[in-house]
Amino acid sequence: MCGIVGYLGPKPALPVVVEGLKRLEYRGYDSAGVAVVRDGRLGVHKSAGRIHVLEQSLDLNAEEGHLAIAHTRWATHGAPNDVNAHPHIDASGRIALVHNGIIENYQALRKYLTQQGITLVSETDTECLVQMIGLRYRGDIEQAVREVLLDIDGTYGIAVICKDEPDVLVAARKGSPLIVGVGKDEFILASDASAILAHTSHVIYLSDGEIVRITPQGVRTTTLNALPVTKELEEIEWTLEQIELGGHEHYMAKEIFEQPEALRNCMRGRVDGKHGTVHLGGLAEHWRELTRARRIVLTGCGTAWHAALVGEYLFEELARVPTETEYASEFRYRNPIIEDGTVVVAISQSGETLDTYAALREAKQRGALSLGVVNVVGSTIARETDAGVYLHVGPEIGVASTKAFSGQVTVMAMIAAALGRRKHMSQPSMELFLSALSEVPDKMQRILEQADLCREVAQRFHERDNWLYLGRGYNYPVALEGALKLKEISYIHAEGLPAAEVKHGPLALIEEGMPVVFIAPNGFQYDKIVSNIMEVKSRGGHVIAVATEGNREIARLAEQVIYVPDIIDPLQPLLTVVPLQLIAFHAAVLRGCNVDKPRNLAKSVTVE
């Protein structure tokens, strides 16, 4: 979840890596640091706090070295302070290292290093790595790194430099992403493409168990056992403009308002409403297996898990395939039953979520057909699955996911419909469904025009410390997602539940003035949710309803109503989630929270 940047080239390295850190700050932001090699010396600067704190302590023109590494941290081992910040250096002061991941056997390494007379100054597992490399160093930094990594248990994405080898940048990965950007006579290493795009769109994706040696002469990739690996130069599909704020004050707002166009891009070339067909090239060779599937398992974490839960309903209703949703972190540590005909779908915005990747790997080992639904091209899950579908919703920088959730639900709607058509769905039914799906972007735009109303709701209730979100059917996962958004960015306690469950205990939480959000669009369970509204209202709860346009009855029951266009039940989550995203966003702004960088969180969770 931390951000790594490295640079080797003709430009002064320090400004390049600091600018790269700024673009990666959403991956971790409790401390930051840089290391630069210049004139035979190693300069290290680091500090607790956001990157601007580090930048203020630096003279970007003073360090004119052309080799540097940098890091922005999301703390795992050790408090976020100057000492625990990366880079870490070895006892000799020759070698600097930055690290993303967790070293599981670091306690044994600490003990060994202490026996060797090495004094460890930080609380981190990372320092053990650089100290071990320092002990093994005999003039070849790549070889020292290789030897140490063979003894490491855990996950890592690392970048290493040594003042004795001023033209060598070494990096390696296992479970944490690393990309090498290849420009004109320069190389930019990063854990995310956003730090590279300002310099080049040509990249090499490292795979697990690979080490890369970067010199002015080029890039050489090998395995841990020193076997050569041939890597293809690939093109990043995003542009620099897409990762800029574009006139918005916050990335989250930008990404909420990008959703209509993002879903058009997601469906472009895939949904043919005229002929009632769905074209998903990533699945083209696997439809026979999918049609014969006896069971589908959807797995993800956080927002992706909520999208998966919508997917469960879609697959069972549209394709009539038994489907279950699993938390990836739980799936990987139990003894899951994977029978013949099981399909496991891993859902992740980044494609690097460690728990989701581990769940996928477990399922593959047990013989499941593995599919990926991810946003980042070339990511680990995208490369490790048997097949999959990209979201194509563009880069998502805000830590709280919005357009990726919409893209994930849209992709699963397309897959479920395509599978249903192959199994039992009639052509007219398919055409009606795809027609409704194609209308989602325009209908979503109409909801976004009510942003001021959503702000009014937030203004009225943002000082309340407890909220409840309730929905039924397809909108139960939306209730979960709405509550999560509020928790993530405004730090208000919120709980999402199936509306019918409120009477089985949570009704005791209702007190005078408590905000209760009901997702209550028209549908076959509408009358039931009205009954739930009455139960809450009679106990003093303040009802906020998300309802279908034209429903005037609900205005007599709720203090505030936000209307969404009418749409078929399976696609309601794509519309009903939008007001909840806006309410959470405005509540966080009104409370003075950092919307894009909520405390204790990071965008891509590559550690357990």
pLDDT 10s digits, 89-127: 999 999 999 998 888 888 999 999 999 999 999 988 899
At 344, the pLDDT band (50, 70, 90 cuts) reads very high
Tell me the backbone φ, ψ of residue 454, rounded to 5 degrees. -65, -35
Instruction: Let me know if residue 433 belongs to a domain.
Output: yes
Q: Are residues 434 and 467 in the same domain?
A: no
CATH number of the domain where residue 467 is located:
3.40.50.10490
Total domains in the chain come to 3
Q: Is the pLDDT of residue 2 over 80?
A: no
Q: Are residues 63 and 189 in the same domain?
A: yes
pLDDT 10s digits, 205-245: 998 899 999 999 999 999 999 999 999 898 887 776 677 77
Q: Is the pLDDT of residue 604 over 70?
A: no
- Single-letter code of the amino acid located at 522: N
Q: Are residues 199 and 317 in the same domain?
A: no
Segment among 166-175, 250-259, 553-562, 597-606 with least mean pLDDT? 597-606
Instruction: Let me know if residue 201 belongs to a domain.
Output: yes
Last residue of one domain, picked from the residues 417, 438, 459: 438
**pLDDT value of residue 607:** 57
**pLDDT value of residue 44:** 92
Q: Are residues 232 and 249 in the same domain?
A: no
CATH number of the domain where residue 66 is located:
3.60.20.10
**pLDDT value of residue 265:** 94
Q: Are residues 434 and 500 in the same domain?
A: no
Segment among 51-55, 300-304, 306-310 with least mean pLDDT? 51-55
Distance of alpha carbon 319 from alpha carbon 296, whole angstroms: 11
pLDDT 10s digits, 520-557: 999 888 889 999 999 888 888 999 999 999 999 999 99
Asked whether the beta carbons of 229 and 218 are under 8 A apart, the reply is: no
* Catalytic site residue from 22, 174, 485, 603: 603
Last residue of one domain, picked from the residues 189, 215, 236: 236
Q: Is the pLDDT of residue 295 over 90?
A: yes
Mean pLDDT on 185-193: 92
**pLDDT value of residue 156:** 92
Instruction: Let me know if residue 183 belongs to a domain.
Output: yes
Q: Are residues 375 and 230 in the same domain?
A: no
Active site residue 2: yes
Q: Are residues 85 and 158 in the same domain?
A: yes
Dihedral of the CA atoms 600, 601, 602, 603 (nearest 10)? -170
pLDDT 10s digits, 359-380: 999 999 999 999 999 998 888 8
CA 183 to chain centre: 27
Segment among 68-77, 457-466, 529-538 with least mean pLDDT? 68-77
Element of type H or E holding 287: helix 287-291
Domain containing residue 531: 450-596
Element of type H or E holding 443: helix 440-448
Q: Are residues 252 and 179 in the same domain?
A: no
- The helix-helix angle for 476-490 and 303-314 (nearest 10°) equals 170
Q: Is the pLDDT of residue 80 over 80?
A: no
Element of type H or E holding 427: helix 427-438
pLDDT 10s digits, 558-590: 999 999 999 999 999 999 999 999 999 999 999
* Catalytic site residue from 2, 162, 266, 301: 2
Instruction: Let me know if residue 443 belongs to a domain.
Output: no
Token pair, residue 556, equals 């007599």
Instruction: Tell me the pTM.
Output: 0.82
Mean pLDDT on 194-214: 92
Q: Are residues 205 and 66 in the same domain?
A: yes
**pLDDT value of residue 14:** 92
Q: Are residues 16 and 112 in the same domain?
A: yes
Last residue of one domain, picked from the residues 185, 212, 236: 236
Mean pLDDT on 239-252: 80
